[in-house]
Chain A
Amino acid sequence: MASDPDGELVARVGAGDRAAARLLVARHVDKLLALARRMLGDGAEAEDAVQDTFLKLWTHAARWQPGGAKFETWLFRVAINACYDRLRKRGTVSLDEAPESPDPGLSPERVLQNVELSKSIQAALDALPPRQRVAILLCHYEGRGNADAAEILGIGVEAVESLLSRGRRALRASLGHLRED
């Protein structure tokens, strides 16, 4: 098994090294936040979920056992559970709010197009059941392999493939209007 690229940093965090904590945050926070935003469709709530994820890391780092699950796998699992908790508390899923992330280097027309596209994707993702949504996000949005996603979700690869297949079918139906673009 390849060595965990975060293993040493996690051990240092467990020993109370603040510089290592800062490096771990810098390495993972953007990915986790992007995933949480797409899971929750709400920027502020996504930030809270990511903060909770790192809080769990700070309290568990001293007990981290190298050689078990890959650290990033564990971290994503914690983040996804934090998102699930929020979705459960919310009860309903918001369809009308989507994060907007305009790139200052793009033309106003392109920015508007991207924002609209982002909203359409968010609305389509929000309409998916949470497990299909997270499978789609891990594999197609994050670019992870099915086996990696299966490990993060704690399910089999076939179950991930089934979630992906159903999720893609629903997204194709929701985003059909974008096919003409």
Chain B
Amino acid sequence: MNDDDERLIALLQDAGTRDRAEPASLALSARILADFDAALARRWSVSRLVDAVWPGAPAWKPAFALGLSLVIGLGVGALLPVYGAPDETSIASDASPGLDFGGDLR
């Protein structure tokens, strides 16, 4: 590093020291802390919901249980029409016979 570099670095360091001496506005700090409050409120509402569903459990457990039940539900939903489809044979056998008992007996 030569003298020019050293002068340049000193210039930048000086600028940095001056810039950092200017404190952030109170408004900025207030905005940042308001974000903290909002994030905390969001986190608490989620954890309250989790606690209501499964008291004391970590968040992943109810999420896993919900995911698993969705998979099972979708699986059953996909298979159910196959096993529960109306049987055409039984419908045919249930059809009313076209017999005229009165006529044959006479």
Contact = CB atoms under 8 A, between A and B. Distances in A.
A109 B73 CA distance: 77
Contacts of B7: 179
Interface string B1-34: 0001101110111011011111111001101110
B42 to A, nearest CB: 9
Contacts, number: 101
A162 interface: no
B24 A55 contact: no
Contact of A172 (B5, B24, B39): B5
Interface residues of B, number: 30
Q: What band does the interface of chain A fall in when counting residues whose beta carbon is under 8 Å from B?
A: 35 or more
B51 interface: no
Contacts of B18: 101, 103, 114, 118
Interface string A106-147: 000000001001100100000000000000110011110000
21 contacts: A18-B36, A22-B29, A22-B33, A25-B33, A29-B32, A30-B23, A34-B19, A38-B15, A51-B35, A55-B39, A58-B35, A58-B36, A101-B18, A101-B21, A117-B15, A141-B15, A168-B5, A168-B8, A172-B5, A179-B4, A179-B7
5 tightest A-B contacts by CB?
A141-B16, A34-B19, A58-B39, A140-B12, A101-B22
